């Protein structure tokens, strides 16, 4: 028979597109939630990814200009013969500088400032330029033996070109204002602004003494075609052994990229969450949409459309909307990223040139379609199983959707989430972790919903009043929405709350202690013979001496009986070799301080009369040097070998703004070694701080004064900016979350409206219907958001431990604000669903909702 050969009508693919367009054209309003979910998710993703790509690209492009050379060889001392030989073999450095931090004073205004002095010789920079005012000052400061002073310092102390600056024992004219220079990164130059002087005057400052922290940088231009990564790989170990280091502009750009790591990770998390919320939003809004379309599907089937055709009409429509949403979201994202540079400019060492990053744009468009189709598939499957009999008012039991198809769609969703996380996080373990976390969250929420329904059914309070009983009945009787709503509300609350906790965590990571008992002025490089005199300058002003920490410099001579030289040449060694080359700054004391806690062994206060000296090692050093309690280390203390044993290991909170040490000796052994001191005090206000700094600079030009008050303010400013960006992006996700909630709660409208109308017809008062509805949504809101927030505690702890590597102290805000906020939102949307029932006669409502 002819009929058995043909399986489908002759309608073309074009007709399917035409039908999708016709139907979509008249359904615009109903797709607002759907579009909003995609647009917000994609906007967040594209803006963050585009900006991140632009940032990386800018760092890569500008890395030569940021460094001022193709590569640098740096060392803490003048190069020895071997290092000099290597430098000569590379064609010799074209420029060099020595830099150190010191106090500088300005005799005209009687002010002083902690600065980084950069003594420069030869052609520096090799790339880029010294941006100065007047412009010619960039070259004339050498011939005039003058100084180029950072623009912020000039402004702060109201200085002008022609004024003088005193560095150590020498006074120089300020010949120009330094606006920018290679090697000055934003944050570091804010703490210690740069002063560039000719190299030949450095000796005259008298600041180069034993124990001074100096950096010698030699600037090189690479011959064309030289592979800098290979150069780095070959020369770095040799230079390392000689106490020098090679940095290429490419490795520099990687480090620079990494220094924005946590903010980047967080922004990626925001994009991920915004998009996931968008996906949940799509699923719930398509659920509503398709529900409204099932009657039309039945009519089309009745008129001869096949299951495949009806399914395709709506699939094309959803994919089209996804593409449109992706397009709008991508455009909005590209526009939004334009605002980021102005927010972040202050702590970026260069001006960002924005361009259209193709990858996020393509991904935005693709994701718009992909996530729409994938997350719409489950609701769309309903069209496949709609019977044309529905047009005859015959309500059949819905055909069961095959488990295999559902499982395949769910698997597809999990694979999508995994691949997307992988793209975003570039680490399959994190990606897998995210997928597992999301799957576990869904499962727990679904489990709780099932238990909740069973629990109410079993312990149903039959003696409660009518409205209370009705509201509880709604939670488990046929056509209930408990599962769908609890999962949607729970996931929304979970994601929003995780974002809040993470944001809190990041901001707390950088919080600074600033009370009266914490030091806020640190005096560095105080020589032993200056200790008493410095104390005499501090105490008469009523300021306390909080710490007086002796510091002895030393190097590792041998570890566990093997000489450092021997270890350096051992290619099979797994320990971190920097330990062998590093000059450690060590202190001695009889007790631990507040930033330390013992992880292994016992604290030793005094050196025992006989045996090895028990030293305390920070746990990160113990890890790098691969030593444990009981292992021996011999230190070379400026020519004298000291045999020690690891007595204990300590965890150190390096984020605390106070002097912390890798290695601590007990009392009774280093007292007579050559040493210098760090003295800390607390100045209650800016005036006291300025007075003390002025006096110290005049009396002790070699001492550097670090004013933490300024640094605290500076860092807080930067943090405020970062927090603003974080909050702004988090707001996006929260907005998407609200849309998800609206979508989810609106889904239940169709389940409840007929029941409410029936109750109305039977004589229920508005108040009773309101109470039933309000109570039902209240239970769902409290339970869903409560569990979501509780689950977010676990996910935040995991993020803190594995991603951000910081302690997590939960804030009560999600419980105090999010829980009632989300519950209220659910309640309001739920009540707005019933508004039409309360305001219109029952028949009008039925006719309107049924049409």
Partner 1 sequence: MSKILNVHQLGKTYSSGSKKLTVLDAISFEIEKGDTFAIVGPSGSGKTTLLGLCAGLDEADSGSIELCGTSINELSEDERALLRNKEVGFIFQDFQLLPTLTALENVSVPLELQGIKNAKTQAMELLHKVGLGDRSDHYPSQLSGGEQQRVALARAFINNPSILFADEPTGNLDEETGEKVIQLLFELNKEAGTTLVIVTHDLDLAKRTQHILRLKRGKIASNQSTVLST
Residues that bind partner 1 (CB under 8 A): 1, 3-4, 6-12, 15, 18, 22-27, 295-296, 299-309, 387-389, 391-394, 397, 851
Give the shortest CB-6-to-partner 1 separation in angstroms.
6
Q: Which is nearer to partner 1, 28 or 107 (CB)?
A: 28
**Spatial separation of the C-alpha atoms in residues 47 and 333, rounded to whole Å:** 4
Rounded Cα distance, 708 and 699, in Å: 21
- What's the CA gap between 688 and 540, in Å, rounded? 12
Cα angle 430-432-436, degrees, rounded to a multiple of 5: 115
Q: How far is the CB of 502 from partner 1 (least distance, A)?
A: 43
CA distances from 748 to 78, 479, 484, 752, 843 (A): 76, 9, 9, 6, 20
Report DSSP state, residue 834: T
Residue in the structure block whose two tokens are 């113990």: 622
Residue (1 or 762) nearer to partner 1, CB: 1
Listing DSSP states for 623-686 in one string gives: HHHT--TT-EEEEEETTEEEEEEEEEEEEE-TTSSS---SEEEPBSSSTTSS-EEEEEE--SSH
CB of 338 to partner 1, least distance (A): 38
Task: Evaluate whether 281 touches 34 at the Cβ level (below 8 Å).
Answer: yes
Identify which of residues 244 and 753 has a Cβ nearer to partner 1 in the complex: 753
* Closer residue to partner 1, CB minimum distance, 4 or 463: 4
The smaller minimum CB distance to partner 1, of residues 313 and 683, is found at 313
CB distance 444 to 786 below 8 Å? no
- What is the closest distance, in whole angstroms, from the C-beta atom of residue 3 to partner 1 in the complex? 5
679 and 523 in contact (C-beta within 8 Å)? yes
Q: Which is nearer to partner 1, 272 or 311 (CB)?
A: 311
Min separation Cβ 311 and partner 1, Å:
11
Task: Name residue, tokens 């400032």.
Answer: 113
User: Which of 593, 613, 612, 614 shows the shortest CA–CA distance to 602?
Assistant: 614
Alpha helices in 475-514 (DSSP H): 482-509
Task: State the Cα–Cα distance between residues 251 and 257, nearest whole angstrom.
Answer: 10
CB 116 within 8 Å of CB 100: yes
Nearest to 260 by CA among 341, 334, 197, 182: 341
Rounded to an integer, what distance in angstroms lies between the CA atom of residue 460 and that of residue 509?
48
Closest CB 1 distance from partner 1, rounded Å: 6
Q: Which is nearer to partner 1, 14 or 540 (CB)?
A: 14
Q: Which is nearer to partner 1, 271 or 313 (CB)?
A: 313
Q: Where are the alpha helices (DSSP H) in 76-158?
A: 81-89, 137-143, 151-156
According to DSSP, the residues that pair with 551 across neighbouring strands are: 676
Q: Tell me how far apart the alpha carbons of residues 700 and 528 are, in angstroms, rounded to a whole number.
A: 13
**CA dihedral of residues 387, 389, 392, 395 (deg, nearest 10):** -70
CA 68, 70, 74: angle at the middle one, nearest 5?
A: 75
Q: How far is CA 806 from the centre of its chain?
A: 12
CB of 848 to partner 1, least distance (A): 10
Pairing state between β 704-707 and 521-527: antiparallel
């Amino acid at each position: 028979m002819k009929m058995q050969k043909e399986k489908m009508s002759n309608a073309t693919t074009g007709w399917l597109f035409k039908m999708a367009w016709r139907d979509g054209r008249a359904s615009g309003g109903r797709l607002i939630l759907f579009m909003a979910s995609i647009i917000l998710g994609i906007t967040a993703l594209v803006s963050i990814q585009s900006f991140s790509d632009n940032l990386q690209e800018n760092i890569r492009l500008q890395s030569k200009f940021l460094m001022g050379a193709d590569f640098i060889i740096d060392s803490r001392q003048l190069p020895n013969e071997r290092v000099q030989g290597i430098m000569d073999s590379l064609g010799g450095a074209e420029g060099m500088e020595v830099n150190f931090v010191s106090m500088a004073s300005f005799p005209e205004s009687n002010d002083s400032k902690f600065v980084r002095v950069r003594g420069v010789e030869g052609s520096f920079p090799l790339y880029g330029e010294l941006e100065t005012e007047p412009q010619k000052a960039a070259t004339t400061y050498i011939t005039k033996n003058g100084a180029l002073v950072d623009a912020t310092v000039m402004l702060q102390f109201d200085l002008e070109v022609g004024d003088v600056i005193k560095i150590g024992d020498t006074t120089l004219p300020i010949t120009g204002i330094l606006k920018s220079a290679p090697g000055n990164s934003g944050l570091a130059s804010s703490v210690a602004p740069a002063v560039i002087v000719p190299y030949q005057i450095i000796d005259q400052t008298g600041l180069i003494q034993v124990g001074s922290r100096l950096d010698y940088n030699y600037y090189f231009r690479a011959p064309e075609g030289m592979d800098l990564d290979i150069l780095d790989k070959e020369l770095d170990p040799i230079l390392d052994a000689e106490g020098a280091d090679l940095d290429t502009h490419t490795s520099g750009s990687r480090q620079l990229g990494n220094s924005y790591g946590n903010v980047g990770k967080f922004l990626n998390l925001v994009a991920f969450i915004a998009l996931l919320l968008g996906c949940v939003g799509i699923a719930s809004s398509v659920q509503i949409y398709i529900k409204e379309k099932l009657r039309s599907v039945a009519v089309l089937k009745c008129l001869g459309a096949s299951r495949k055709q009806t399914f395709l009409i709506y699939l094309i429509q959803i994919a089209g909307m996804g593409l449109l949403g992706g397009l709008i979201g991508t455009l909005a994202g590209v526009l939004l990223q334009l605002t980021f540079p102005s927010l972040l400019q202050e702590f970026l060492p260069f001006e960002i040139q924005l361009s259209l990053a193709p990858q996020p744009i393509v991904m935005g468009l693709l994701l718009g379609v992909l996530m729409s189709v994938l997350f719409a598939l489950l609701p769309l499957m309903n069209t496949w199983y709609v019977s044309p009999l529905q047009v005859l008012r015959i309500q059949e039991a819905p055909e069961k959707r095959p488990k295999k198809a559902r499982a395949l769609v769910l698997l597809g969703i999990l694979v999508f989430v995994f691949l997307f996380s992988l793209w975003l996080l570039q680490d399959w373990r994190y990606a897998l972790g995210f997928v597992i976390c999301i799957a576990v969250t869904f499962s727990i929420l679904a489990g709780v919903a099932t238990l909740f329904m069973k629990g109410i059914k079993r312990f149903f309070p039959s003696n409660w009043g009518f409205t209370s009983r009705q509201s509880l009945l709604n939670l488990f009787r046929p056509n209930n929405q408990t599962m769908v709503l609890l999962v949607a509300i729970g996931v929304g609350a979970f994601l929003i709350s995780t974002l809040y906790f993470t944001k809190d965590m990041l901001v707390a990571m950088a919080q600074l202690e600033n009370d009266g008992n914490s030091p806020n002025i640190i005096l560095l490089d105080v020589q032993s013979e200056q200790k008493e005199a410095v104390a005499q300058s501090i105490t008469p002003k009523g300021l306390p001496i909080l710490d007086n920490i002796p510091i002895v410099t030393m190097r590792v001579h041998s570890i566990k009986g093997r000489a450092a030289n021997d270890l350096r040449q051992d290619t099979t060694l797994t320990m971190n070799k920097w330990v062998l080359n590093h000059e450690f700054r060590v202190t001695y004391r009889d007790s631990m301080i507040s930033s330390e806690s013992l992880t292994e062994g016992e604290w030793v206060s005094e050196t025992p009369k006989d045996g090895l000296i028990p030293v305390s090692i920070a746990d990160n050093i113990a890890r790098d040097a691969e030593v444990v309690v009981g292992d021996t280390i011999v230190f070379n203390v400026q020519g004298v070998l000291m045999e020690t044993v690891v007595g204990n290991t300590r965890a150190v909170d390096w984020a605390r703004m106070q002097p912390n040490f890798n290695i601590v000796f007990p009392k009774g052994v280093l007292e007579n070694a050559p040493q210098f001191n760090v003295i800390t005090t607390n100045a209650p206000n800016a005036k006291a701080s300025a007075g003390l700094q002025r006096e110290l600079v005049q009396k002790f030009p070699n001492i550097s004064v670090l004013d933490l008050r300024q640094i605290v303010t500076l860092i807080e400013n930067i943090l405020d900016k970062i927090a603003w960006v974080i909050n702004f992006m988090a707001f996006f996700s929260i907005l998407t979350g609200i849309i998800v909630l609206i979508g989810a709660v609106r889904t239940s409208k169709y389940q409840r409206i007929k029941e409410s109308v029936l109750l109305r017809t039977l004589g229920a008062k508005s108040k009773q219907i309101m109470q039933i509805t309000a109570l039902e949504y209240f239970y769902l809101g409290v339970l869903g958001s409560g569990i979501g927030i509780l689950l977010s505690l676990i996910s935040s702890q995991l993020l803190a431990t594995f991603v951000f590597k910081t302690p997590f102290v939960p804030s009560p805000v999600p419980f105090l604000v999010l829980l009632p906020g989300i519950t209220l939102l659910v309640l309001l949307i739920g009540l707005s669903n019933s508004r039409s029932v309360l305001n219109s006669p029952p028949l009008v409502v039925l006719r309107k909702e049924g049409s």
